[in-house]
Structure 1
Amino acid sequence: MITFPDNIGISDIQCGDCHSLALTSNGWIYGWGDNSDGQTGCGQHYYPFVDCPIRVRFHPDIQIKSIYCHNNSSYAITDDTIDGVGTYGQVYKVEDRETNQLFAIKEIFNDINNSYLIDEVKNLLKLRSKYVVYYYDGWIESDFLYIQMELCLQSLGKLLEIKGQTFGRQANHRCEQPIDLVEYYITSHIIQELCECVEYLHTRQPPVIHRDLKPENILIQIINDKSIGNRFIKLCDFGLATEHNRWVGGQSSELHTNKTGTQLYRAPEVNRDADDRIAYNEKSDVYSLVNV
C-alpha cells in the first residue's frame, strides 16, 4: 500500500512503465517506483528504486500545474508560460531535472473536431531541420494534447515591438523615421534567415505551405551550435500547414482550403469566398512573408 503524509490531498496520479507521480492539492509532487533513468525526479544516481513516495523538490517560486508520466520519463508542467507563442494553445517552459536542458511544452485543448492537432505533430515529425523548431515528443493527457519542442524564448513579434525603441525610434512612427546603419544590417539578417526558412518548406518534395506565417509564429533562438552556424530564426506552429501535391491522379491540382490562417497576413487568393476548396500554392506564403 502506498501511503502519504497526513493531511495531504492528492489531486492527480500518473503512471509510467514502472514508476508513478502524485500531485497534491497544494502543488507538491511525490514520486516512487523505478528510478533507473531518474524518472521519479529524486536523483538517478542515489535512488535506483524508490519504494515509497518521496517529495520532488522545486524552487519555491515554481507553481506546478499538472504532471504526466510516459514510459521512463516524467513531466511537471508549471504556470511559467511563454508569452506570444502558439496560436491554438498555451506554451510552457520546462526543465529536465537530470540534464538541466530546457524545453517548451505546448498545451492544446483536445477537442474532437480539432484535426489540426494531429496534423501539427505529423508535420513537425517530417520537418527535421535547423529552419524549424525541433519536435521531441507528444502525448494526450485528459482533455489536452501536449507537444514537447525546442525552447525559443522570443518571437519576432516581440522583437519588432522593442527594436525601434532600442535604436531610439518611436514604435508608432516606425515607418516615418529612418533606421540607422546598424539597425539596417540587423533587419537585413533577420529577413535573410526568414527567407531561408520559407525556402526550406517550399523546396520539400512535395512543397509545404505553412499558411499561417506571422511574427508570432517566427521564433528567435540563440543557438551555440557550430554545425548550423549563427542562426537565430525558426518557424513554428504547423497546425495549418499542408503539402502541395502538384500532381494528384495524373492531373495537376492546386486545391486547398480557403480563408486559412490569420486574415491580416492572408494572401488574396486564399481569402476568396468559395463553397469548396480553391486553387493556390506555396506562393501564398510569400505574400504573408512580405506582410510580416
Structure 2
Amino acid sequence: MASNEWDDWMQKIVNFYVFKTDGINTNMLFVTNDDRVYGMGANDYGVLGTGDDMCANKPTPISMLKDKRIINFLSGKKFTVFYSSDNCVYSCGNNSWGQLGSEGLVGQLMVTPMKVQINKNNALVHDISCGSDHTLVLTHRHQVYGWGSNRFGQINSRDTAIEVIDTPVLIDFNGNQCIKAVHCCRNTSFALTSDGQVFIWGVTGGETGVEVFNRQLDEPMDCLEYYITCELLLDILKCVRYLHQLEPPVIYRDLKPDNILIANYIENGQVIR
C-alpha cells in the first residue's frame, strides 16, 4: 500500500498483533477505533480468519469479529485465538491437534473464527496463553482449562495416551490450588499460584512428563528453583512493559531471553532489554 494509505490506517488502529506461522511467514491482526478487526499477511492455514487461506496483501476485514470488542490476540504455530471484552474466545486456523477447541472438527482447516465454549457455566476468562498446538485458560474461579495437543502431556501429563483434546477440559492440580496466572511455551505449560508456587508440565529438552527441575504437575518448585525462574522472567517482563507502553501498544509472542536484544535505553540506571 502507498504510504498515505498507511497513514490513514495508523490513525484508526487501536491495537495490533504481529506473528508468524510455522515460525516463517509473517501476519498481522489489528483492531480499529470503530470496532472492526482486520488481517494482513501470508494467512497460512487461514490464521487471519478472513474466510480463506489466501495471502492478504492489504488489510482484509474479518467479518465474523465485527463489533465483537476484540481486545487481545494470541497465536500458536498454525492457529490464532481472539479474546473479547465480552469474555468470548474465538479461534481459527489449522485444527490438526484440536487446538481450535471445537469438538468433532479435528483435522479440518477453519478459515473463519469459531467461538470456543470454555465450560457450561461460561466462566469469566482471567488469563489465556497459547503454545505451539495447545491453549490454556485461567478462569475467575482460579480454574485452568486446556485443549489441543497432549502429545507431550502439556494438558494432561498423567495420560499422554490421549494425544488430542479437542474441547476445553479442567486441569487437576491435586489440591485446592489458587492459580493466578498461566503460560504456554511451545509444548510446555506453566501455572503460578497465589502463594508463589510454579507448576510446570509438558516438554522441555525433549523429555515427556518430568520436565523443568524434574518436577511433575503436582510438585511445586523449591525456593532456589523459583528464584532462578523469576530471574529469567524478569528480563522478559521488562521487555513486555516497554512494548506495552508504546503508543499504540505492541503485542508480541514467544518473548524469552534468547530473542530479546539489549537496547541503548536506560531506566533507573539499568539497561532495559
TM class, shorter-length: 0.3 to 0.5
TM-score (structure 2 length as normaliser): 0.36
Structure with larger Rg? 1
